[in-house]
Amino acid sequence: MYSFKNDYSEGAHPNILKALVESNMNQEDGYGNDIHSKNAIIKIKELMGNQNADVHLISGGTQTNLIAIGAFLRPHEACISVDTGHIAVNETGAIEYTGHKIITVKSKDGKLNTDKIQEVLDFHTNEHRVKPRLVYISNPTELGTIYTKEELKTLSKFCKSNELILYADGARLGCAISLKEADISLCDMCEFTDAFFIGGTKNGALLGEALVIKREDLKREFRYHIKQKGGLLAKGRLLGIQFEELFKDNLYFELARHANEMAKLLTMGLIEANCKLLIDSPTNQVFPILENEVIKRLEKNFGFYIWSKVDDKHSAIRLVTSWATRKEAVTEFIKELRK
């Protein structure tokens, strides 16, 4: 049984484990004040070409989202997200628990644009309604699609002129910035957003996301918020060591590139097998539409989630590749499918 369920089925990239072992008995200060966290943060600032941004290493994606959004907003302010946004559907109301409404707008491809944001602004004009204040995007989106540089630039400009905070969830950011045909870099993410995070968990780390805060007024006393939400690990070295390794010799980008390539291989195999895709995703999530009977057959040897019902006989499934996906597994899957 081989699993395409997600990009966190395996442990960590071997380099990370090696570094953990080698540094294990060194004494380090706690709570992110260790040398590894410091080094990792320096490296990330270098790669973004921004020395003024603040970087914080936090355990997971939901944790990062709730700490950041909870810290950025005043009580009456709200988020805008597409209806498939991770914070909107898959975080058990974590953002609402911090007291903030998520205003959702419909989107077919998981992407947000300025027209949709403008509609929300037009509807929320006085104190009887929440004040829209933070625009949440995911890059890649929950459907595997990505934003072009031009799209990010447009969103950025719109948010600035409307006093909105632009925040990007980068749980799978590696796959967006490592895509050959894409034109987005880590520098662009930093330039065009007010804050965003660089996902580690889904790209080879045991756990860990690097939250980048560029905008000055959002930085203040941020470590208080991490601690208050239980996000400040005593052994912060665990996060530091991992990001140190991930950003050594471009490992982070290579791992993401592999995930993308495996996804491309899958996609090509599916197309050759005359499968339709629910959505055209260039990153590590692939959504083929298959006959229910075929799905049942595939489930015997492969793990994956059924994404949505398409019609009485067909459903879309989700196949996720990662840094750890073996090429043979992809070939096997396509072979099994074509039977």
Check if the beta carbon of residue 171 is closer than 8 Å to that of residue 86.
Answer: yes
Q: Which one, 12 or 48, has the nearer CB to a second copy?
A: 12
Rounded Cα distance between 250 and 181, Å, is 18
For the window 143-182, what string marks contact with a second copy as x by the rule CB under 8 A? ----------------------------------------
DSSP state of 31: T
Peptide bond connecting 282 to the previous residue in cis, omega within 30 degrees of 0: no
Q: Residue 2 or residue 116: which is nearer to a second copy going by CB?
A: 2
CB of residue 240 to a second copy, shortest distance in Å = 11
Residue found by looking up tokens 């006393």 in the block: 221
Q: Pick the binder of a second copy from 9, 39, 113, 114 (CB under 8 A).
A: 9
Q: What's the min distance (Å) between Cβ of 49 and a second copy?
A: 28
Q: Which of 169, 231, 241 is nearest to 198 (CA)?
A: 169
Residue type, 143: L
Provide the minimum distance between the beta carbon of 180 and a second copy in the complex, in angstroms, as a whole number. Answer: 27
- Kindly tell me which of 103 and 270 has the beta carbon lying closer to a second copy: 103
By beta-carbon proximity to a second copy, the closer residue of 276 and 309 is 309
Q: Which of residues 197-256 bind a second copy (CB under 8 A)?
A: 201-202, 206-207, 221, 223-235, 237-238
Collapsing DSSP states into helix, strand and coil, what is residue 240? helix
For residue 210, the cross-strand partners are 57, 198
Minimum gap (Å) between residue 95 Cβ and a second copy: 8
Among 6, 162, 185, 292, binds a second copy (CB under 8 A): 6
Q: How many CB atoms lie within 10 A of CB 312?
A: 7
Pairing of the two strands 77-82 and 2-3: unpaired
Which positions from 279 through 338 interact with a second copy, judged by CB under 8 A?
303, 324
Within 174-303, strands assigned E span 195-199, 209-213, 276-277, 285-286, 288-291, 302-303
Contact window for a second copy (CB under 8 A) among 94-102, 159-167, 269-277, 280-288: 94-102
**Start-to-end CA span in the chain (Å):** 17
Q: Which is nearer to a second copy, 149 or 303 (CB)?
A: 303
Pattern of binders to a second copy over 64-93, x per CB under 8 A?
Answer: xxxx--xx--xxx-x----------xxxxx
Return the H-helix or E-strand segment holding 57. strand 54-58
Shortest distance in whole angstroms from residue 14 CB to a second copy: 7
**Minimum CB separation from a second copy for residue 329, in Å?**
10
The least distance separating a second copy from the CB of residue 247, rounded to whole angstroms, comes to 20
**What is the smallest separation between the CB atom of 39 and a second copy, expressed in angstroms?**
16
Q: Which position among 46, 49, 97, 118 is part of the footprint of a second copy (CB under 8 A)?
A: 97
> Binding segment for a second copy among 97-105, 248-256, 281-289, 311-319 (CB under 8 A)?
97-105
State the greatest distance between any 2 C-alpha atoms of the chain, in Å, as a whole number. 61
Nearest to 162 by CA among 238, 80, 228: 80
For the segment 26-65, give every residue that binds a second copy (CB under 8 A): 26-31, 59-65
Secondary structure string (H, E, C) spanning 218-238: HHCCHHHHHHHCCCCCCCCHH
Comparison of 9 and 154: residue with beta carbon closer to a second copy: 9
Instruction: Give the pairing type, strands 165-169 and 131-138.
Output: parallel
- What residues does 102 pair with on adjacent strands? 79
